[in-house]
Structure formats: structure tokens, C-alpha cells
Structure 1
């Protein structure tokens, strides 16, 4: 059976625990768990081979429903998690390819529940250059909660759907050794010194996605109820202190500090740490947030 998590497990330098959630906040794993298992002792051999071919040829994006006794990929509804993950995958693709594709809608989602939750989303995106429509696919992992981060997501495949089925230049395996140790410590607290410089937001609207990820790490609800945000201030930090803010914004490894106000909601302070191992379609976002509940 095709299960990317089995092979990937050996490559994790430290597998983070599943994120803890409040009792009244069901996770996508809890909501979809019943669909992922079968009471049958095993899948029918013909069905098993059909599932394997679909999963391998489509990289998990086009898989019919099969009864699984083990964890597998299956069609699922789109949750707020999947919407955020689709946006993150599109942002990663745009940054790598120099594009400005805009998310129109999430068409469908396949889920995989193993040690972690994998979201395989297929979306319709618009190229603002000529208003053309494209089919975009991204695989994103909910990597739990650790090192003061309340949300960790990993993009693994970010691509326009290929005309010829297959993996192409994508790889789901991360090389965590390629990430500088500067970005592997606990998530920072809010800075009280002048070591972080304010940056310009011109032509960097994706920063609002980072604010969305930060707020989602605390509220875990549909973000359209609280957007658009009113961005008050953005600061960016990298290992190299002598780099211009405009350059830091485009860095594959950076820490973003944001003060923003949610629509009809309170003032928030969010931190997002962005890292990459340099492989195609790979971006890691770690987020935490403080919400001023007095407003």
C-alpha cells in the first residue's frame, strides 16, 4: 500500500507530537478517522492494486474511496485546515516559480491519516496576468505542535497538475539537516530589542497569509470570518543581520513578527518562522500568536 509516511518516518530528525486541541475543537483526524478504517480483515487484492495504482500515478490527489484496514488516502471534505494548507502550498509555488497565482476555490481534498495528518488538495487558481485558470495541487502535512509553535505545517508537493501523471520534480521527503541550526531552536518570544527591523509590504501581500496562519494557530476556525486583516506593523529577522529588509522578505529562511487587527476582532501579535530545505515544493511554517482579549 502506498503510504508516504512509512518511508518518511526515518528521515525525521525529531517527529513532533500531534497537536493538542481543546475538547470542543475536533481535529481533522478525529472528524475523518471513521472513514479511514474498514472492519474487513484485509482489502480485496484487486481493490488493493487499483488503490495502489491510483495513489502512485496521481501522487495521492486522485484516489477513489476504498475501505482501508490500515491508514490510507481517501476522499474527504474541505476543512479550514485544508483551506489554509492549500493557500500555503500556493504561496510556496508562487515564491519558487515567480508567479502570482490567486486561489479561486478548493475543488477537492484527499486525506491521509498516519502518524500525522496529510492534506492532498486540488484547487482552481487564477493567473492575474491573463486571467487564465489552472489546476493546482499541493500536499501539506500538519506536523503538530512543538518548540512553542502552536501550528507547524510542511508543504511537500506544490505544482500545477501535470498533463502526464507522475511525481515529476516533486519529492515528499524533507532534508531537515539542510536547515540552519539558527532556525531549529524554540520559537522566539515577542522581541523587546531593536534587533528586528520594520520591513516594507509593497508587493508582498502574502504576508497576510502568515498572519492568517498565526491567528489560526490559536483560533483554528474559518478565517474568512476575520479577514481582511488590518496590518499594523511587520518586522522580519534572518540569521544575517546586515541584509536589507526587502531582501529578508524574499528569504527562504526568516522569522516574521506581525501586529494586526482581525476584522471585527481583537488586536493580535503573531510570529511565523519560515524555513526550507531547498527542495522543490518544500516550505515549513511554524506559528504562534498572542490575542489581546481586552479589545
Structure 2
């Protein structure tokens, strides 16, 4: 399942797809198995797994999980009601640019791999959320894919 992000167009300032690096224009796939192993290597510092305290601190991540959950609900892929509270279990962030790990969350362009479940503990889900910007302050694009199948 894939929901294309909304590409906003501000009057006189259209979305500029050329400003977004090719890395952020490919398909949305789940986290590679060796991603976190590579992230400890200085040559591949592009992945960062958030600590639980960081997940609580950056509460806007809940919006990303809600957005992903809505796509599942809208397409009938979950038994839960839309208003069910969600609990984020794990978040890994990835960027093309090498940055300090905690700075990855502030990057204009990033991919978030989120494991979450409802607070009733009945279903677990995972989502890939890509956030891109084209350099204009008013422009932000969110894309989400919720792989269905085995969780890691």
C-alpha cells in the first residue's frame, strides 16, 4: 500500500522536484537488515535509532505514526478504530547527508522507519515515512508506506 504525499503549491511558488536529491525519490522500502550495523561504522553514519526518551521528546513523531495508521485504516488493513491511541515502539531515521545522529531528526529530508502498535496491544504495524522539502519554507511533502507482513 502506498499513499503519495501531497505536493503543496503556494501561489507563485510551485513545488520544485529538481531540488530534492535522487536518494529521496526512490521507492519506500523497509529498513535494510544491516542498516544499524552499518550505522556504527563511520563510513555509513546515515542511520540513527532513537532512544525511548527521544521518541517522547520529539512528540511530532506521533503525527507520522497517526498518518501511517490512517492509511491502514482507510484501506481496511486494520481492525482498529481510527481514534485508537498508538504507541511508538521503535524509530530509526535515515538521511543521505552525513550528520550528527541527533541532528538527523532536524534534516529537511529524511526517512523514518517506525514500529508502532495500538495501546490495546492487539495489532503491531510498521511504516516508512519520507519527509522531503524543496528549500521553500512553505513546502513539505510526506509520503508513507506501510509494509504488510512479518514485523522485525
TM-score (norm 2): 0.74
Residue 190 (structure 1) aligned with residue 48 (structure 2): no
Taking the aligned partners of 2:33 and 2:146, their CA distance within structure 1 comes to: 16
Could you tell me which of 194, 209, 232 is aligned with 2:89?
Answer: 232
- Give the match's secondary structure for 2:147: strand
Q: Structure 1 segments of 4 or more deviating over 3 A? A: 221-224, 290-293
Residues 241-260 of structure 1: pairs in structure 2 closer than 5 A: 242-260=98-116
Q: Distance in 2 between matches of 1:292 and 1:266?
A: 12
> In the alignment, what sits opposite 2:42?
none
| CA deviation after TM superposition for structure 1 residue 262, in Å | 1.7
Listed one character per residue, the Cα deviations across residues 113-149 of structure 1 (whole Å, up to 9, x for unaligned) are xxxxxxxxxxxxxxxxxxxxxxxxxxxxxxxxxxxx6
SS of corresponding position for 2:136: coil
Note if contact 2:48-2:104 (Cα within 8 Å) is conserved in structure 1: no
SS at match of 1:218: helix
Q: How many Å separate the matches in 1 of 2:123 and 2:148?
A: 7
In the other structure, the counterpart of 2:136 is 279
Alignment partner of 1:211 out of 65, 69, 88 = 65
Partner of 1:154: 6
**1:263 maps to 2:103:** no
Structure 1 contact 276–284 (Cα < 8 Å) conserved: yes
- When residues 274 and 223 of structure 1 are mapped into structure 2, their CA distance, relative to the original with a 3 A threshold, is farther
> Equivalents in 2 of 1:182, 1:153: separation in Å?
16
Whether contact under 8 Å (1:259, 1:270) holds in the other structure is yes
Q: 1:262 to 1:202 in 2, by over 3 A?
A: closer
* Whole-Å separation in 2 of the counterparts to 1:258 and 1:223: 20
Q: How does 1:89-108 map to 2 (within 5 A)?
A: none
Q: CA deviation at 1:243?
A: 1.7
Contact 2:113 2:126 survives alignment (8 Å):
yes
Structure 1: unaligned runs, 5 residues or longer: 1-148, 158-166
Q: Distance in 2 between matches of 1:206 and 1:171?
A: 29
**Rounded Cα–Cα distance in structure 2 between residues aligned with 1:224 and 1:218:** 10
State the TM-score, normalized to the length of structure 1.
Answer: 0.40
Equivalences, count: 133
Query: Does the residue aligned with 1:256 lie in a helix, a strand or coil?
Result: strand
Larger radius of gyration: 1
